[in-house]
Structure 1
Amino acid sequence: MPDIALSTLVLLCLAALVAGWIDAVVGGGGLLLLPALLIGLPNATYPYVTGTNKAVAIVGTTGAAVTYVRKTKVPVWTAVRVGLAALAGSTAGALFTTAVDEEILRPLIIVVLVAVAAFVILKPSFGARPEGEDRAPLTRARVVTAIVLVGGGIGFYDGLFGPGTGTFLVLALTAVLHLDLVTASATAKIVNVCTNAGALAMFAYQGTVYWQLAALMAAFNLAGGMAGARMALSKGSGFVRGVLLVVVLSMVAKLGWDQWS
């Protein structure tokens, strides 16, 4: 583990805690965790920062996924199939990273995110399940669409660019599978576990993970992830929708800053 001041270590652990909470509720925790690691480890190479980030995130994501599965009905088998498709998609996306101009892609993502925020604001019923109404059955057509478009498509985006993947998963799973936002968030966590496992295996093979630092931060990320999952379950889709808007608008602000600063 690199030499880190105690104050920096404390801030990294707090960032891991909050990132775990955000990620469990609606995705997007990496928007906080990765920049925190980049600032806290200024002398580390990017592969070590990214590898350590994955080692931390997978623990919190797994904890959140287990919490959701234990406390609510989650389409686990569907989530695993979407996750495997996302793993394949992210691998393919990574192969094309050198052929894509990030300066062109970022404004497109900002436009998409602004449209998403407007849609969520103007359609408050999106992702809500009326009291006492059962979840719509998962038809074969919707499951196949989720595997191909959500898993393969968003997985490809994750490998190609990455920011906001968890949030896009929640939105897409809500729309394609007709899930409420809480169930979509739970399903997205299982998908995230699959994709994070594949990425972490590669970083571990390459030896680009600070395991001691990751283990310490992962404990806080796990606590945040489990707390976020419990809060989402107790407060329902309206709460998740509010957090979703905050995360989406924060993503727009960050990407805009990166683009025009």
Structure 2
Amino acid sequence: MELELWVFAALTAVCVVSGFIDAVAGGGGLLTMPALLSAGLPPHLALGTNKLQSLAGVTMAMRTYHRKGLLEIRPNITAVICILIASAAGALAVQMLDTKILNLIVPVLLVLCAAYVIFSPRMDDSDRHHVLTRKGYNPVAGGIGFYDGFFGPGAGSFYTTSLVALRGMGLTRATALSKLFNMTSNVGSLAMFIAGGKVFWTLGLCMCVGTVVGSWVGSHSAIRFGAKLIRPLLVTISLALTARLIWTYFTG
């Protein structure tokens, strides 16, 4: 399909903002998916193209967190493998199934995430005793990975909140690890969208430029300000995603 040049420029600009949001709290799809659909892309093509630009952003954010010593990759390799397989399965499934039912389920989960962030005293930068071991967390990681491949909105928030609640991690470290997991689920799902011919490469690569810029700024801001920035943005994004998904469901 063909788009006018101003559409490319506008979507790239949107990705600067969404990249910042994704790097700090997740949920950048709140901006990019409606923008892609408004530009006239069919839903599956929009999903695949969104995964391409999102992968560029979370990779930049992950690299920044890793260089600052906030992310350990090797101890989480098993979770990464689970997420990779599950996200690929999710992306394969979404190309065959109707996703409308998720527009009812996901808002409930996002509200629970927001409530946990607001009311739990654990949502700060201090580490606490874990509920699940790394191995015990793998099925949770795989489940979120499947969801990210299948649908996606709020996956970054789910990773972060579950790492704090179940793995006992401080909020900034949980955010850093969520970027590794988010990158992995993007790789797995993007591979399936590419195989299905559901990526608008020219547009996606332009959007990558914007999201990398936004992710660089966002990750450095999150590292500098920690939970004071991540916590309110996590709540805001969760509630905003909830409102958008409910609106989408009832307006068809």
**TM-score w.r.t. length of structure 1:** 0.86
Partners of 1:103 and 1:196 in 2: CA distance: 21
Q: Structure 1 stretches of 5 or more lacking a match?
A: none
Partners of 2:9 and 2:98 in 1: CA distance: 36
1:258 alignment counterpart: 248
1:66 alignment counterpart: 63
Between stretches 244-253 and 170-179, larger displacement belongs to 170-179
1:142 alignment counterpart: 133
Distance 1:252 1:71, change over 3 A: same
| Corresponding position: 1:30 with 2:20 | no
- Identical counterparts, % of pairs: 35
| Corresponding position: 1:232 with 2:222 | yes
Query: RMSD in angstroms over aligned alpha carbons?
Result: 2.4
1:187 Cα offset (Å): 0.5
1:200 Cα offset (Å): 1.9
- State the secondary structure of the residue aligned to 1:127: coil
Partners of 2:44 and 2:245 in 1: CA distance: 21
Partners of 2:31 and 2:215 in 1: CA distance: 14
Contact 1:110 1:252 in 2 (8 A): yes
1:208 Cα offset (Å): 3.1
1:226 Cα offset (Å): 1.1
1:31 Cα offset (Å): 1.9
Q: Structure 2 stretches of 5 or more lacking a match?
A: none
Distance 1:222 1:80, change over 3 A: farther
Distance 1:198 1:115, change over 3 A: closer
1:98 Cα offset (Å): 8.7
1:83 Cα offset (Å): 2.4
Contact 2:149 2:188 in 1 (8 A): no
2:123 alignment counterpart: 127
Partners of 1:50 and 1:112 in 2: CA distance: 21
> What code does the residue aligned with 2:124 have?
A
Partners of 2:142 and 2:93 in 1: CA distance: 14
* Paired positions, count: 251
1:171 Cα offset (Å): 0.6
1:219 alignment counterpart: 209
Partners of 2:179 and 2:249 in 1: CA distance: 29
1:163 Cα offset (Å): 2.0
Contact 1:79 1:188 in 2 (8 A): no
1:74 Cα offset (Å): 1.3
